[in-house]
Structure 1
Amino acid sequence: MAESTVDLGADDVPTLKDVESIISRKDYSSPLSFFPDHRERKFGGIIAPYHLSGTKIKCGIKSCRTPHWHGYLISTSDGYETNIGKDCGKTHFKADFTAEMKRHDALYERRLKLNRILELKKYAPNLLRELLALQSAYSELKSMRFKFRGCLSASENNRIESKVKSADATLYHYQERTKEERDAYLEANPASRKSGSVPPKEIPVGEIKGFWFLGATYKDEEIFNYINPLRQVISANKNHIAAWKQGQLNATHLWIGKSKTLIPAMESIVEQGKSFFNVDNLISLSIIGISEESLSHAVYELKKAMSSIGKSLG
């Protein structure tokens, strides 16, 4: 059998959601034998793929009968329908089946993605409002971070960078170790014995609130790249979306999946930023070596900026 040249559309392929939707079809028959076991019966074509959950269905080829969840409803050369798995299709029907399988798998994937995009369309306006609000909040906080860092000296900014790289929000006071503590440290850390260098003891005294906001980068802003595609989903009707080229369909479907993690991640960053810009929290940075003069200047500038948009610094 030569590969079909007929273009398949989503409406041309039935949806097979469970075993009953397969075995209840009027031309369905199982088990069946095929050539050479049955001299006349050959592969006709694939009608539709199926991906079941729950109850498995047995392979419709008499010599197999292996239960499975994923396979294909096929037609036969003598007018019957039955179901088979991918392996049996390739084994019994070779290239004829493989060519058909690729076409139907591509259509199945397209329909799956299309349905998810159409489902998104139902709540897309609310999602767009949520994204725009997040973008506005993050932009405001990023501007405040820029202003805050601008009030610090180069060495103080380096201290901030070092703290961010440490991935440790804890604030410490440092205390010289006693002789007993130094000996215990050297005993536990053989590499330090040669130099005799022993770091001071770290005593936790607090924590930088909203610490993780300081390390947010442009990579965390990826979710905002999807605002315009989301607007396209909202403005397009069902027929327009169904006619999208595969590239646009794939790209839109991809960010639907990403949004499930990127939106909560950005919400967390915004909450971290709100926690960071608090007067007491900013003043506590003196513990990592930021001068009181720089911190007072930063608080003054941030209060002024917040006041200009009708808000106040916590």
Structure 2
Amino acid sequence: MITLNSERGLVRIASWDDIESVPGFTADIDPKTVKLKEIIGSYTFDALIPCGLSTCHQPHGNGFLVAAADGRVTNIGRICGKKHFDVEFTQMSRVFLAAVRAQQNREFLGELKHRLPNITAEVAAFKAGEWGAAWINTRINQLTGKSGSLPTPIVNAVRQAVRRGDGALTIQRAATKEEREALAAAADVTGLERRNRISDFVEVQVGQLDGFAALAPGNGLRDVLGAIEPFLATLSEAEIDNLPDKQLRELSKAGSELEPNLERLRTVIGAGKRLLVQQNVQQLSQFATSSAESRLFATFLRDLPN
């Protein structure tokens, strides 16, 4: 692939034949008698291209297209460029590569800006509606104890499921004699060692929360939307062609994170909707320790869809 930096912006060419037909192109320039004017392109090929310097002609796969002061154009590799044109070539290559990166950033941001109405509409759709992002976020905060409105035993059960990392709801109960003996046999211990190492309790799974990902650390919808909406607002107002290099780099970097953040938003919204249904959350009612806690949790349940 060949990338030319022209007055029209970046031009990408797939064929080396197109370069050889460029006015002034020559495959044989004496580096001792030529003065470089600028670097006008770069190339990367699997097939090797002979260097255009008469003192080299060594085949290589990566190099630059250079324009000489006399109007001729040829191709040279980075090593030859530094060897024969020293600091001048190094400075020119930096200017060229910076210009290419800037133009690539502008093209990337321009494509995103073209998609902006659809992206904005998708985000708005996630936020709106009876069971949108704000509704989901509020109830997840209740389940995880951030709002302090649900009974502590139920919140603790949710937190334990979060710590486990698998959404399993578990309880501890006294181990039966048979279970203690089985544990001892499995551990191959007896006597004092057995009393010290074998627990009198066993952990039993009593439920499984669907949509558990919505509860996981880092999946708060406020955080997810906070990584998306400011960028969309900035991109909407940005005059991409007039952005200084620093702002262009920063906005392009933020743009590269947009699609992962959108996918994260889709995942968390989907998980939240699977989580926050009565049949799923009803599993937590077994952790209530009093009738008052049961009534409080029942009020929470009634607000969830069937």
What TM-score, normalized by structure 2, do the two folds share? 0.79
What residue number does 1:66 align with?
Answer: 59
CA shift at 1:193, angstroms? 5.8
CA distance in 1, matches of 2:183, 2:106: 66
Residues 1-314 of structure 1: pairs in structure 2 closer than 5 A: 11=7, 15-18=11-14, 19-35=16-32, 41-52=33-44, 55-62=47-54, 63-68=56-61, 70-136=62-128, 137-148=132-143, 149=145, 150-172=148-170, 176=175, 178-187=179-188, 195-198=196-199, 200-217=201-218, 221-235=223-237, 240-286=239-285, 289-291=287-289, 293=291, 294-301=293-300, 303-304=302-303, 313-314=305-306
SS in 1 for 2:169: strand
CA distance in 2, matches of 1:12, 1:43: 25
Q: Give the share of equivalent positions with the same residue, in percent.
A: 19
1:159-205 Cα deviation digits (max 9, x unpaired):
432321221212346562535421233249xxx86822337455545
CA shift at 1:249, angstroms? 1.6
Asked if structure 2 preserves the Cα contact closer than 8 Å seen for 1:138 and 1:270, the reply is yes
For residues 277 and 43 of structure 1, do their structure 2 counterparts lie closer, same or farther at Cα, with a shift above 3 Å needed? same
For residues 253 and 53 of structure 1, do their structure 2 counterparts lie closer, same or farther at Cα, with a shift above 3 Å needed? farther
CA shift at 1:268, angstroms? 0.8
CA shift at 1:217, angstroms? 3.8
For residues 151 and 77 of structure 1, do their structure 2 counterparts lie closer, same or farther at Cα, with a shift above 3 Å needed? closer
1:231-280 Cα deviation digits (max 9, x unpaired):
443455xxx32011223222221222112211111111111111111112
Asked if structure 1 preserves the Cα contact closer than 8 Å seen for 2:281 and 2:301, the reply is no
For residues 16 and 60 of structure 1, do their structure 2 counterparts lie closer, same or farther at Cα, with a shift above 3 Å needed? farther
One-letter identity of the residue aligned with 2:228: Y
CA distance in 2, matches of 1:226, 1:184: 55
SS in 1 for 2:67: strand
CA distance in 2, matches of 1:109, 1:131: 29
SS in 2 for 1:49: strand
- In the alignment of these two chains, the number of paired residues is 286
Asked if structure 2 preserves the Cα contact closer than 8 Å seen for 1:128 and 1:231, the reply is no
Asked if structure 2 preserves the Cα contact closer than 8 Å seen for 1:116 and 1:253, the reply is yes
Q: Which has the larger displacement, 23-32 or 95-104?
A: 23-32
Asked if structure 1 preserves the Cα contact closer than 8 Å seen for 2:214 and 2:275, the reply is yes
1:96-133 Cα deviation digits (max 9, x unpaired):
10111111111100000001111112211011111223
CA shift at 1:82, angstroms? 0.7
Q: Higher strand share goes to which structure? A: 2
Asked if structure 2 preserves the Cα contact closer than 8 Å seen for 1:56 and 1:67, the reply is yes
Q: Extract unaligned runs of 5+ from structure 2.
A: none
CA distance in 1, matches of 2:142, 2:10: 59
CA distance in 1, matches of 2:220, 2:80: 46
For residues 163 and 229 of structure 1, do their structure 2 counterparts lie closer, same or farther at Cα, with a shift above 3 Å needed? closer
CA distance in 1, matches of 2:9, 2:30: 25
